[in-house]
Chains A and B, each alone.
Chain A
Amino acid sequence: MPGNRTKWSCATVAVLTLSVLLTGCGGSDESSGGGKTVLRYTWWGNPDRAARTQEAVALFEKEHPGVEVQTSFAGYEAYKQKLATQAAGGDAPDVMQLDYRQIDQYASGGILLDLAEQKKALRTDEIDPGLLATGVVDGTQYAIPQGRGTEAVVYDAKQWKEAGVTLPSKGWTWGEWADAMRALARKTGKPGSVDPGQSEDCFEVWLRGQGKVLYTKDRGLGFTADDLTRWWTFTDKLRREGAVSAAEQTTQLDGSVENQPLARGTAMSDFNWDAPASGYTAIVGEELTLAPMPSGADGTPGQYFKPSMFMGAAASTEHPEESAEFIDFMINDEKAAAILGASRGIPVNEPIRDDIGPELKDFDKTVADYQDSVDGTLKAPPKAPPTGDNSLQTTFQRDYDQVSFEQMTPREAAEDFITEAKAELRS
């Protein structure tokens, strides 16, 4: 009967449509891996770090045949956005690398696993207690610091010597730094440095050199529009003199080493964190050197040791034990430490730090020696920045763009920043 046929074809179409929809929904990643436990591990970093991480992960998989670790990495900015979206969607990776700026937000949002519950798999007794405490939010250990880092002036000693400019010395002040930049520009025709005006990190070092702070203990702003105006006036003047990079160069900075003027050969030095500066070795060459950050006029150091990054596990993970084992491996295993070297900062596990210290070579050794040279002279690190700092870092760069392109005076841009910062920290 024709009527029946129509009915049947309708039903067939409906069933087919539904099955297509359902297959689309059911394709979760849990099933892959051939019966193995699959851990997802995400992090940010440069290609050098990527190569070493892959090697360490392969070793972990060899030692734990039942576990497969799927890794993915990106540059910091992209990573930050992707992780936030994943976490909000309830799809946080099992193990994730976190920045000091993210801990507060992720812990209070219930994204992170209480790692103290996994004590059996994850040992923390060999980590410096002060450093370990940086991963604690409201009394709970949500994350384990993975390395120790500090900022540095990164430069190519060969170029500086050729230009006949005195190399940076310990305890140099911002005034001396500025003179060196002018001298470099005069002798080489290239700006001496990237423009530090765009960097909230550099501003913090400058502030601390004057005994001030970026954020107060109760999560308010630790500086005024006057302070920021002075900083931006200082850097703006250097830019006009050609001593630091031009606005067209500065605006392209996105956190990746390749886009820094030092890597592009358009400036003679850079401000960066010590470990990630390894990314320059492939571009700049062997004489890549780290010097301490300039200090305040009276010699007060502004830079500090901070946990360069953390490892945390997702509260939603189905494999808390394996996740903890993996974190333990990355932080406490000697063979892993030998592979990773200083690519994530100097290790936090103290026996391992002492063991691998003499073994370090190339740029890893440069980083270790640099940290030794400033160790003991620096002041205590500030508390983890408040949640809003995450976006203020970008706002800082944007507002300075207005200054370096001469669309606003340092005063106007500083007032703008303070307004936005207050709104950001209020919420």
Chain B
Amino acid sequence: MTTTDIPAKTVRTKTPAPPPRQRGRLRREGAAWVFLSPWVLGAVVLTLLPMAVSLYLSFTDYDLFNAPRWVGLRNYVQMFTEDPRYWRSVGATLMYVVIAVPLQLALALAVALALKSMKRGKSFYRSAFYAPSLLGASMSIALVWRAVFNDGGTVDNLLSDIGIHTGGWVNKPGWALLAVALLTVWQFGAPMVIFLAGLQQIPVELYEAAAVDGASRKRQFISITLPMLSPVLFFNLVLQTIQAFQVFTPAFAVSGGKGGPADSTLFYTLYLYDRGFVASHMGYASAMAWVLLIAIGAVTAVLFRTSRSWVFYANEGER
């Protein structure tokens, strides 16, 4: 049986102490560092340093033009107490995560199930459904999306043909967020492929035994597929949630860069960008970025906590 779960203990097990031959060790490690250098340089210069600078900036008033001025916690205080638009952006982001992530996962799972039982043309359909994931992150697709959901766009026209007059989705608060969420849902390819891999790991014997016992397909899905798939489901959920919190490009393009209409698609990252690059409040934007980092960490921690009650690891059953 496969073990998706790596017990934390094995990771922490100590490797045996290095041999006392210092010179040899130095040479070996030196070579390792040389080979690692492209990565280490990148990590330090492009990730760690900017992060440190942004942490410092979050305690300053910095307008890009003049030297940063230390203001202590003022940015954080202002964010939580004096900025109604900040809370609107938090609301819009949460709404988006709650709509887009479950829809995307459900669709990915449904398509994976359909593909699994397919006899012919499986790899063709798998590639076809995966394609949007490759294209989706690009600006051009987001712009096309805006055109499709604008007034007089494809969606408006098609719906009008069957007697439903919605107008342009992207210009209506309440509808615009749905248009952006659909763009994310449409890119269900990546979680789908992972689901497909997970489904193929489930032993056929389980289904055979269930069939012999007279379990219906629905019963089999609930009692075998879902529990056996739960680690993969959990993995996808965590990954997609983290991604959804950071969504930027689709919202930026679909809302014309403003998070409109009426702030309905003013996602957190969009407002962060607005504060930093439009209003030139880099200090405030940095503070927002750190709050987002902590919030995503907290949400992930909560997901891990709840996972104990619903994620089933096959090896646990054997204990």
Contact = CB atoms under 8 A, between A and B. Distances in A.
Q: Do A and B come from one complex?
A: yes
Interface string B277-319: 1111100000000000000000000000000000000000000
Interface string A84-100: 11011000000000000
A106 B65 contact: yes
A333 interface: no
A254 B257 contact: yes
B172 interface: yes
Contact of A402 (B63, B82, B258, B262): B262
Contacts of B82: 419, 423
A216 interface: no
Nearest to A407: B262
Nearest to B280: A84
A247 B280 contact: no
Given A251-B261, A252-B256, A407-B173, A110 B85 contact: no
Contacts of B167: 248
Nearest to A392: B279
A247 B167 CA distance: 12
B262 A251 contact: yes
A80 B41 CA distance: 33
Interface size class of B (residues with CB under 8 A): 35 or more
B85 A81 contact: no
Contacts of B173: 405, 407
A14 B34 contact: yes
Contact of B64 (A17, A84, A248): A84
Interface size class of A (residues with CB under 8 A): 35 or more
Given A77-B257, A405-B261, A390 B280 contact: yes
A88 B263 CA distance: 28
A348 B37 CA distance: 58
Contacts of B274: 394
A105 B262 contact: no
Nearest to A266: B151
Contacts of A28: none
B65 to A, nearest CB: 3
Interface in B59-100: 61, 63-66, 78, 82-85
Nearest to A107: B65
Interface in A239-259: 247-249, 251-252, 254
B85 A401 contact: no
Contacts of A401: 260-263
A81 B260 contact: no
B220 interface: no
Contacts of B168: 248
A386 to B, nearest CB: 12
Given A84-B280, A424-B279, A405 B65 contact: no
Contacts of A108: 65-66
Nearest to B174: A405
B222 interface: no
B241 interface: no
Contacts of A87: 64-65
Contact of B84 (A81, A249, A416): A416
A9 to B, nearest CB: 11
Interface string B132-176: 000000000000000000010000000000000001100111000
Contacts of A84: 64, 277, 280
A140 B66 CA distance: 18
B280 A398 contact: no
Interface in B237-261: 256-258, 260-261
A81 B278 contact: yes
Contacts of B31: 10
A313 B168 CA distance: 44
Nearest to A246: B171
Contacts of A109: 63-66
A213 to B, nearest CB: 22
Contact of B37 (A17, A106, A391): A17
Interface in A401-420: 401-402, 404-405, 407, 416, 419-420
Given A84-B64, A248-B171, A419-B82, A391 B38 contact: no
A111 interface: yes
Interface in A18-50: 21
A427 interface: yes
A334 B268 CA distance: 51
B34 A81 contact: no
Contacts of A247: 171, 261-262
B175 to A, nearest CB: 10
A387 B256 CA distance: 24
B280 A391 contact: yes
Given A405-B173, A423-B78, A251 B260 contact: yes
Nearest to A111: B65
Nearest to B151: A248
Nearest to A422: B82
Contacts of A419: 82, 84
Given A17-B38, A401-B262, A407-B262, A394 B85 contact: no
Nearest to B61: A427
Contact of B85 (A17, A405, A420): A420
Given A416-B84, A423-B82, A248 B63 contact: no
A325 B98 CA distance: 58
A1 to B, nearest CB: 15
B84 A394 contact: no
24 contacts: A14-B34, A17-B37, A21-B41, A87-B65, A109-B64, A109-B65, A247-B262, A248-B151, A248-B168, A248-B171, A249-B171, A251-B171, A252-B171, A390-B280, A391-B281, A394-B279, A398-B85, A398-B260, A401-B261, A401-B262, A405-B262, A419-B82, A423-B82, A427-B63
By Cβ-Cβ distance, the 10 closest A-B pairs, closest first, are A109-B65, A391-B279, A88-B64, A248-B171, A251-B261, A405-B262, A401-B262, A251-B260, A81-B277, A405-B173
Given A87-B65, A248-B172, 20 more contacts: A10-B34, A13-B35, A80-B278, A87-B64, A88-B65, A105-B63, A105-B280, A109-B63, A109-B64, A110-B65, A111-B65, A248-B261, A251-B171, A251-B260, A397-B258, A404-B262, A407-B262, A423-B78, A427-B63, A427-B281
